[in-house]
Amino acid sequence: MREVPGLEPQYLRQRYVPEPMLGLRKIPVLGLAFLLAVASQALAAGERGPFSRLGPPDSPVNLYTVERGSGPTVLLIHGFGTNTFTWRHVMPDLARDHRVIAVDLKGFGKSDKPIDEHYSARDQAELLIELILARDLRNLTLIGHSFGGGVALLLALEADARLKGRISKLVLLDTIAYPQSIPVFFRLLESPVVSQVGVRMAPADFQIRMALRIAYYDNDKIGADEIEAYSEPMKTAAGKHAIIQSARQIVPPDLDEIAARYSTITLPTLILWCDHDRIVPLDVGLKLRRELKDARLRIISQCGHMPHEEQPEETMAEIRMFLGRPLNDSSDAAQIP
pLDDT at 18: 36
pLDDT at 203: 86
Q: Which residues of the chain have pLDDT under 70?
A: 1-49, 182-201, 325-337
Residue 178 CA to residue 71 CA, distance in Å, equals 34
Q: Single out the residue of 55, 52, 199, 43 nearest to residue 111, CA to CA.
A: 52
Domains and CATH numbers, the chain: 11-336 (3.40.50.1820)
C-beta contacts of 25-32 below 8 A and 24+ residues apart: none
Q: What one-character DSSP code corresponds to residue 322?
A: H
pLDDT at 219: 95
Q: Single out the residue of 66, 43, 65, 63 nearest to residue 55, CA to CA.
A: 63
pLDDT at 181: 77
| Whole-prediction pTM | 0.81
Q: Single out the residue of 131, 72, 136 nearest to residue 100, CA to CA.
A: 72
Using DSSP's 3-state secondary structure scheme, residue 48 falls into coil
pLDDT at 95: 96
User: Rounded to the nearest 5 degrees, what angle is found at the Cα of 56, between the Cα atoms of 53 and 60?
Assistant: 40
Residue 66 CA to residue 50 CA, distance in Å, equals 6
